Structure 1
């Protein structure tokens, strides 16, 4: 056997079929350059509030350095249960329907593996977070993209979902508020989608990690719709709202049969989330909402500035209803998403993410995170404006 054959056969076909993250490629390019302003990173520019950090430090000082229960410390699961009921009117049993995970990403991964059999199809509403389709593939499923577009505010319609359903369809993945578009869906829109999901007996993965970052009104959870709780895998966490990205702490809520299957995978692959981080998260839920509101107010001001400036530059940019991303169209420049992002990085030293990495409907757009300082936003948008004028000449 030749070395090339050996190399080819010892790697998983599934893993070989997956492309590396398009976001990471631009981060790697930017990391080698100087004077870069990055609007590419999807994380708050705030430091985790001190009382949360102090609670984690205190837990170590008090000796909480061992494994926790596989599902997470019961106090945190009880706090998550109270929080979801008080904020979004959904009830989950902390003993059997809540699992604390190593980030929301783990929750998505083990959820896929818990329900997908070989060849099952999973509808992925795009533009979407870059990991969804690869995680479906790694679980043995087949991702079926359904693209949303700027002319419908990047909301998916019941007709689009119906058209994508086949006898092999097992589940659908939704993310609202959305990464990368910032789009949200209201109660009426969700109810219409819920009827299709329920009527076709689908499981829905509802990624609600940006639930607290909703600027107009209160987030509506798909799990709160009639008949949806028993078929919803609700995914969330502490990274975005509480500025705890590096803590790698998420959670998943689901009916007990799905949750117990996910717990089995979690037990064998990760054992438990870090105990000290869980104590910090407990403090965040119990006392941290004022900090969340303060951060959301800052994001709202930045959002308004970014959208106004993109419009003045001449790029169509819908107003994000949630999250902390703007998703302007760059079609006016005549460049593709990748061409725009690469040239902007090389010529003006501003890093953005090309929209095509987020799937169908993302082409012709760029994702710009406004979770950075106003000073950086002002400079970055000045450079983008200069670049756009150059392209249009």
Structure 2
């Protein structure tokens, strides 16, 4: 055994508590198999398959031509923060000034930095499950304790007021809610937000973080999804609204997110980011201004495409014995119940005991990459991304059906 193996760990305990992103791990495994020459249909990545709209790309090029390639104000350019404030007022009915907003290197950075800036060791973060894979590990990395609450399909994969009330303790610091949700597409209505707000009213020490990144990608009603603060404006002084341009405008690689909220938290985020990352990319900020202020036709067109894909893939999945999926209300994923496959045997005689086993069986036997439901805190499911071409989805469905037919 080497000296390095016998020495005290050199990685901090808070980092040793967390694990790599399961969705990234699944994508990496699919990529490795491709390099080996395997034919792989990847239905893993939550990334629009559309190009960033041309007007947004032109705005970035023009910014570079004008020399906008230097540091910006730490909280973001005045132009972008004003565009975000205008968007929040126009689309969401929320009143924030530019000084109430901080621009971050993606929505993920906003969430992590907010937790880092506010959590003391042992503080609790309530996370409804199924949840985006990073919420719990980000909480752990920041010294907090994730408190996950199982929200089954019978209640629409949504948190109930009774569950919330039972989970709150004196150590609760945050309730973290994603609507529409990754991985289920569950979307809270105004009435559901009001019911949760009634519980929160009696617990003033609890902050609320809303991850609104999929707000426009929904399949019922017009405009963005209802926001907690539409239902309960009185919670504004303890709500942090997090969002970004990545999903709505097919700008995942541009890395622009933001947080809008109480001034003390926004100021703390600015201080933390000043030491951690500095300002977001100047060119990306210019592109984001155009995304928010410019022509919005791309949004409706892309959502219409996602709806067509959703409907076709839900029908394909539900036609496969042992699998079941309700149409999601938003986002671009299917959360497929694979309970009907648990306990069955592969052609090689291996028993499928978990949804991890199911996902691995699909990958190894027919080359379809998925993410098991265990990664999202609720089994037995797997997540399937519809942010890919119809041809890719059809091929994936054909292969999954073939793999299921081979089980005993």
Instruction: Sort the TM-score into its range (normalised by shorter chain).
Output: over 0.9
Deviations 1:252-286 (A, max 9, x none): 11111111111111111111000000000111111
SS of corresponding position for 2:24: helix
| Rounded Cα–Cα distance in structure 2 between residues aligned with 1:257 and 1:231 | 10
Deviation at 1:223, TM superposition (A): 2.5
| Rounded Cα–Cα distance in structure 1 between residues aligned with 2:209 and 2:338 | 31
Written as runs of structure 1 = structure 2, the 5 A alignment for 1:266-345 is 266-314=273-321, 315-334=323-342, 335=352, 336-345=354-363
Q: How many residues align?
A: 388
Written as runs of structure 1 = structure 2, the 5 A alignment for 1:183-198 is 183-198=186-201
SS of corresponding position for 1:313: coil
Deviation at 1:369, TM superposition (A): 0.4
Deviation at 1:288, TM superposition (A): 3.8
| Rounded Cα–Cα distance in structure 2 between residues aligned with 1:61 and 1:275 | 12
Contact 1:307 / 1:317 at 8 angstroms: preserved in 2? yes
| Rounded Cα–Cα distance in structure 2 between residues aligned with 1:103 and 1:274 | 10
Q: Say whether 1:350 aligns with 2:350.
A: no
| Rounded Cα–Cα distance in structure 1 between residues aligned with 2:285 and 2:358 | 41
**Correspondence for 2:56:** 52
Deviation at 1:139, TM superposition (A): 1.4
Deviation at 1:215, TM superposition (A): 1.1
Instruction: Provide runs of 4+ in structure 1 moved above 6 Å.
Output: none
RMSD between superposed Cα atoms in Å? 1.3
Q: Say whether 1:256 aligns with 2:267.
A: no
**Correspondence for 2:103:** 100
Q: Which range moves more in the overlay, 180-189 or 310-319?
A: 310-319
| Rounded Cα–Cα distance in structure 2 between residues aligned with 1:102 and 1:3 | 35
Q: Select 2:83's aligned residue among 79, 85, 90.
A: 79
Deviation at 1:389, TM superposition (A): 2.3
Segments of 5+ residues of structure 2 without an aligned counterpart are: 343-351
Deviation at 1:9, TM superposition (A): 3.0
SS of corresponding position for 1:327: strand
Deviation at 1:146, TM superposition (A): 0.8
| Rounded Cα–Cα distance in structure 2 between residues aligned with 1:157 and 1:349 | 38
| Rounded Cα–Cα distance in structure 2 between residues aligned with 1:271 and 1:29 | 33
| Rounded Cα–Cα distance in structure 1 between residues aligned with 2:299 and 2:171 | 41
**Correspondence for 1:383:** 399
Deviation at 1:229, TM superposition (A): 1.4
| Rounded Cα–Cα distance in structure 1 between residues aligned with 2:330 and 2:255 | 22
Written as runs of structure 1 = structure 2, the 5 A alignment for 1:51-70 is 51-70=55-74
Contact 1:153 / 1:318 at 8 angstroms: preserved in 2? no
Contact 2:17 / 2:141 at 8 angstroms: preserved in 1? no
Deviation at 1:25, TM superposition (A): 2.2
**Correspondence for 2:349:** none
Q: Select 1:147's aligned residue among 142, 150, 164.
A: 150
| Rounded Cα–Cα distance in structure 1 between residues aligned with 2:29 and 2:334 | 22
Deviation at 1:338, TM superposition (A): 0.6
Deviations 1:82-130 (A, max 9, x none): 1111111111111x21111000011001100121111111111111111
Contact 1:38 / 1:351 at 8 angstroms: preserved in 2? yes
Deviation at 1:19, TM superposition (A): 1.8
SS of corresponding position for 2:395: helix
Q: Say whether 1:11 aligns with 2:11.
A: yes
**Correspondence for 2:94:** 90
Segments of 5+ residues of structure 1 without an aligned counterpart are: none
| Rounded Cα–Cα distance in structure 2 between residues aligned with 1:224 and 1:73 | 27
Q: Which range moves more in the overlay, 238-247 or 312-321?
A: 312-321
Deviations 1:144-163 (A, max 9, x none): 11111111110110111111
Deviations 1:205-254 (A, max 9, x none): 11000001011014101122321211111110011000000111111111
SS of corresponding position for 2:60: helix
| Rounded Cα–Cα distance in structure 1 between residues aligned with 2:227 and 2:39 | 41
Q: Select 1:373's aligned residue among 357, 367, 389.
A: 389
| Rounded Cα–Cα distance in structure 1 between residues aligned with 2:285 and 2:238 | 27
Q: Say whether 1:223 aligns with 2:229.
A: yes
| Rounded Cα–Cα distance in structure 1 between residues aligned with 2:201 and 2:332 | 31
Give the TM-score normalised by the residue count of structure 1: 0.96
